[in-house]
Amino acid sequence: MPGSISSPSNGSFTRSHRGGHGAPLVCLHGFADTWRTWELVLPWLERRHDVLALTLPGHAGGPPIAGEVTDTALADAVEREIDEAGFEIPHLVGNSLGGYLALRLASRGRARTVVALAPAGGWARGDSSYVNLLRFQRGLIERVRAGAPHAEAIVATREGRRLATQYLTTNFEHIPAELLALQLRGAAQCTAAEALIEHAMRSGWNLDAERVSCPVRIVWGTDDRLLPWPAAASRFRGEWLPHADWVELEGVGHCPQLDVPLETAQLILGFTSP
């Protein structure tokens, strides 16, 4: 595996990471995560792309959210970051909430291609089971906040690492303990978590799919425990993006970039620079 990105020695979180050379590519993480979730795939992506990995507003290291916390506010903020980076129409890669935001930006004409890993927002219209999922996520954030002060001790044991990744991956042995500790602390410091959950419960998720004109690849792990396949993909498969390039990853969890980093990098690069 290529060398990984070094972690801040003081355990602090940063707004973004940029590296590599080539066509611009922006990576967007999921709910309560940070740009560090891409650490295991960045070395491969940076061989072919000028990569900007962002931390979303209201997340650990990210900028504050000005005004109401909504998905549109997040998309607006990411678009401003893209402009500030000097990217006009970059490739976009996103996981979960980040995958949904990548598609929202594509509907604005701001994506050359999109690779969405288990994008949020795909429950079938009228399916209320997503409300239970959101309530579960709220409880999960509370548990993570309780455990975050003990993050290093938790990830110091194999069982602790298994518990720390049980809703994210099915494979965890290769993930550095330091990265897992960063993820626990990062999730605990997501100040926008409750507001985003309340917004999703109140307003749901919407996508102007007819305006998505760029190539789209959607990747989903069959063992995703946060956005279960195929139920959580229903609107994408039926109403929104049935003609996207669909890839099922057998036995993989919610975060393929952590679960199977080499395969994920290949799926991204095979789409952005075939």
Instruction: Give the tens place of pLDDT for each residue, 176-201.
Output: 999 999 999 999 999 999 999 999 99
Our CA angle for 94, 95, 99, nearest 5°, is 50
Residue 91 designated active-site: no
Whether the ω angle into residue 64 lies within 30 degrees of 0, i.e. cis, is no
**Residue pair 248/222 in contact by the 8 Å Cβ criterion:** yes
Pull the structure tokens for residue 190: 């997501």
Spell out where 6-89 has E strands: 16-19, 23-28, 49-54
12 pLDDT band, cuts 50/70/90, is: confident
Query: Which of the following is catalytic: 29, 33, 49, 96?
Result: 96
Query: Which of the following is catalytic: 33, 50, 76, 224?
Result: 224
Query: Which of the following is catalytic: 17, 59, 199, 254?
Result: 254
Instruction: Give the tens place of pLDDT for each residue, 84-132.
Output: 999 999 999 999 999 999 999 999 999 999 999 999 999 987 788 888 9
Instruction: Give the tens place of pLDDT for each residue, 238-261.
Output: 999 999 999 999 999 999 999 999
Which domains are seen in the chain, by residue range? 16-272 (3.40.50.1820)
